[in-house]
Structure 1
Amino acid sequence: MPIYEIAADKLLAVTETSFGAQGIYERKHIQRLLRDDIKVLDEHLMVIAEEFGEWLDSSRRIDLLCLDDDANLVVVELKRTEDGGHMELQALRYAAMISAMTFDQLVDTHARFRNPAQPDLEGAKGAILEFLGWDAAEEEQFGQDSRIILASADFSKELTTAVLWLIERGVDIRCVRLKPYRMNNGPVLIDIQQLIPLPETASYQTQIGVKKLAERKSQGERHELRYKFWQQMLDYAKQRTPLHAARKATREGWVSGGIGRNGFSLQYTVRREDTQVSLWISLGSGMREKNKAAFHQLLKQRAEIEGDFGAGLDWQELPESDGCLIRHVMPGGYKSPTDQWPEINERMTDAMIRLDKALRARVAALQV
């Protein structure tokens, strides 16, 4: 969207230009101007250092290292290009590298930025404390997060896609566009706009991001708990039966093993509050009728099968599915207290041994 000049009787579009065309350089002009007036990017920032690069075995430097009024460190990366280059990758490295900075290191860095020849630690510390509104340093409150601000003439689709992906995963990163315009025979103007996240949606997006992080964390914990359950379960079961002895622990909700015929599998399943053993019938793509035929041949022997198994079974033809299921559900799942897992393991293994005994010969004899 162009910028317009209001003339006497009409609107005149102000011509877009580029920093290069106007002889405006990244470090010499843009960085210096933003350093001296950082609030045009974010009114809650204080510049701590310029061209910061005080880490071992690296020649890389942060354009502007800042502090926000929540005591978080902020990496500001600048580009005058139309695509932003690979600045998001650089900034991620920098954010990781400063994440271990202490408050004393921050004060020392700022003191040398203010006066390289004669650093004044007390003066630098006082300026930081005043900005934060603190009476004294609070190490536990300092640097709990690292933020990133990318400022460029524009951004490529690849870069913005990466930034949106990072935001979804809880990284506080934003894109600010610095768009230069040239007045007719007049000064150069810069339109400074935060593009990602849009200011009016930033709070909402943050809430969504927190929710997604919580969901992702919950999913990760669930997968890890299931993995530990299967480790214990399979270690126990292989001492009792060879049926699933070659299977390894998984983060999924089931473990499958053979019954001596292709298309038929014996499965252990674990959910939050219950477990099951089952026979899954699935002869392959396009074999729906044969799957149903096999199921009904076994169903005709239901009384004998359940008698051999020693309990009732849940027979599911699953009309909406190609496959069919015969299962036995038991109480106790991976969310049960871990001290109950051995009992659950024993119950599942006993049921699987009985299910195999009740079905193996009958599956082998099926006419499908």
Structure 2
Amino acid sequence: MYIINRDNKQSKKIEAITFSSLGLKERDDLQEWIVKEPTILGEELLIIQKEFSGFSDTNERLDLLAIDRKGNLVIIENKLDDSGKDVTWQAMKYASYCSTLGKDGIRKIYQDYLNKTEPGIIAEDKICDFLNKSDFDEVQLNHDLSQRIILVAREFRKEVTSTVLWARKFRIQIQCIKVTPYLFEGHLLLDTEQIIPVKDVADITISLDEKAHDEIATGAEIAEREVIRNRFWNELLPKMNAKSQLFSGISTDSTHYDHWLTAGAGMSGLGYSFVITKKYAAVELGINKPNQEENKKIFDLLIEDKENIEQIFGAPLSWQRLDDKKMSRITYILDGVNVFNEDDWPQMQQFLVENMIKLNDALKKNINKLKQSL
């Protein structure tokens, strides 16, 4: 690694060091860095347990257990300067143990972890948010043979890399990530590099794995729910388009499987959404520009006129700044309805059409001002 002086074009090499030379520990340091920022490993992961030892008939414990964006369990084994020769076998054992975990067991494991780290936070809500699902019933976790392994170390022995390459031939999802510490002017730097599979190859492999995963995940229950939502949307849109042009750009010939349907709100990054779940229906304005700070600024400017907006709308709205998330939203909810109960559809569709028009009427003047000023 080099540091570059942009003025004189000179470069200075920063020498790699070892974890042991700094007195760093596997559990107290490297593991905690990953817990606090899982993207160190090159992807978004939800850490659901650390030092997990909840296996029957054994006292063994894995370092970190996570969920990826596909709902797969990810077993993370951390080493420091030397991977050791048995880490592959160790991790494969843990993956085999975890393969038997069901959705409710995973939820309980995560809830136990949250009770210690974030008391009061509900595991189901966090998992749904991470996987972008509206209801825990729609979440699928830990499909058969979908468990993944990530090995982390500064150096990997040939015994390890050889075994990993062999295992991958049998479609075992196992990766090696090299972590190298550097010290520069008192600052500790960490460089991470995925060495197996080579990243360019991994991009191709992952896309194939995702396709296979999607085919497996499309079970009968989810397929049925998608069909129901599709029929709901194709009933709702003509009713909406008969009274407003807000969603006229969305064709009723398209297939809409998700639990939300969004149209532009007249300003880049802002969208009006219908939301349908098995517990409620909602209309909302989503503020979701690429920059989190800009989203919060827009929300704050809108809420300054809260009294006037709600007076035009005709009811109190739910103002959700969502400080820990990139987006913010303003929403109005009808509780106690279920999109999978067709008897609720007339009430839901009337609510959605009437209140989406009212929400647009209440906000469009403010949005136009924001568009001009920002």
TM range (shorter): 0.5 to 0.7
* Paired residue secondary structure (1:21): helix
Conserved 8 A contact 2:65-2:74: yes
Matched letter for residue 5 of structure 1: I
Q: Distance in 1 between matches of 2:10 and 2:162?
A: 39
Matched letter for residue 134 of structure 1: K
Query: What is the alpha-carbon root mean square deviation over aligned residues?
Result: 2.4
Conserved 8 A contact 1:111-1:119: no
Q: How do 1:53-132 and structure 2 match up within 5 A?
A: 53-116=53-116, 123-132=122-131
Conserved 8 A contact 2:70-2:131: yes
Return the index of the structure with the highest Cα Rg: 1
* Paired residue secondary structure (1:155): coil
Q: Distance in 2 between matches of 1:84 and 1:111?
A: 32
Q: Distance in 2 between matches of 1:119 and 1:103?
A: 21
What runs of 5+ residues in structure 1 fail to find an aligned partner? 211-368
**Any idea what the Cα deviations from partners look like across 1:253-293, whole Å, max 9, x if unmatched?**
xxxxxxxxxxxxxxxxxxxxxxxxxxxxxxxxxxxxxxxxx
Q: Distance in 2 between matches of 1:156 and 1:68?
A: 27
Conserved 8 A contact 2:103-2:141: yes
**Any idea what the Cα deviations from partners look like across 1:132-159, whole Å, max 9, x if unmatched?**
1122235883211100000111111111
**Any idea what the Cα deviations from partners look like across 1:56-100, whole Å, max 9, x if unmatched?**
221111111000111110000000023444211111000000111
Q: Distance in 2 between matches of 1:123 and 1:192?
A: 32
Q: Distance in 1 between matches of 2:208 and 2:171?
A: 10
Q: Distance in 1 between matches of 2:117 and 2:4?
A: 49
- Which residue number in structure 1 is paired with residue 13 of structure 2? 13
Q: Distance in 1 between matches of 2:87 and 2:200?
A: 25
Q: Distance in 2 between matches of 1:126 and 1:76?
A: 23
* Paired residue secondary structure (1:12): strand
Matched letter for residue 89 of structure 1: W
Q: Structure 1 residues 208 and 107 mapped into 2: Cα distance closer, same or farther (>3 Å)?
A: closer
Deviation at 1:164, TM superposition (A): 0.5
| 1:133 equivalent in alignment to 2:132 | yes
Q: Structure 1 residues 147 and 94 mapped into 2: Cα distance closer, same or farther (>3 Å)?
A: same
- Which residue number in structure 1 is paired with residue 182 of structure 2? 181
Conserved 8 A contact 2:133-2:139: no
Conserved 8 A contact 1:49-1:113: yes
Q: Distance in 2 between matches of 1:207 and 1:119?
A: 37
Deviation at 1:117, TM superposition (A): 9.2
* Paired residue secondary structure (2:14): strand
- Which residue number in structure 1 is paired with residue 142 of structure 2? 143
- Which residue number in structure 2 is paired with residue 34 of structure 1? 34
Q: How do 1:349-360 and structure 2 match up within 5 A?
A: none
TM-score, structure 2 normalization: 0.51
Conserved 8 A contact 2:85-2:159: no
Q: Distance in 2 between matches of 1:117 and 1:4?
A: 38
**Any idea what the Cα deviations from partners look like across 1:172-198, whole Å, max 9, x if unmatched?**
000000011122x42121111111111
Q: Structure 1 residues 21 and 70 mapped into 2: Cα distance closer, same or farther (>3 Å)?
A: same
Q: Distance in 2 between matches of 1:32 and 1:103?
A: 26
Q: Distance in 2 between matches of 1:75 and 1:209?
A: 17
Deviation at 1:9, TM superposition (A): 5.2
Q: Structure 1 residues 17 and 117 mapped into 2: Cα distance closer, same or farther (>3 Å)?
A: closer
Q: Distance in 1 between matches of 2:188 and 2:36?
A: 18
- Which residue number in structure 1 is paired with residue 198 of structure 2? 198
Conserved 8 A contact 2:180-2:191: yes
Q: Distance in 2 between matches of 1:52 and 1:92?
A: 15
TM-score, structure 1 normalization: 0.52
**Any idea what the Cα deviations from partners look like across 1:301-326, whole Å, max 9, x if unmatched?**
xxxxxxxxxxxxxxxxxxxxxxxxxx
Q: Structure 1 residues 186 and 117 mapped into 2: Cα distance closer, same or farther (>3 Å)?
A: closer
| 1:156 equivalent in alignment to 2:157 | yes
Q: Structure 1 residues 209 and 163 mapped into 2: Cα distance closer, same or farther (>3 Å)?
A: farther
Deviation at 1:206, TM superposition (A): 5.7
What runs of 5+ residues in structure 2 fail to find an aligned partner? 211-374
Conserved 8 A contact 1:112-1:118: no
Matched letter for residue 159 of structure 2: E
Matched letter for residue 29 of structure 1: D
Conserved 8 A contact 1:50-1:62: yes
Conserved 8 A contact 1:45-1:68: yes
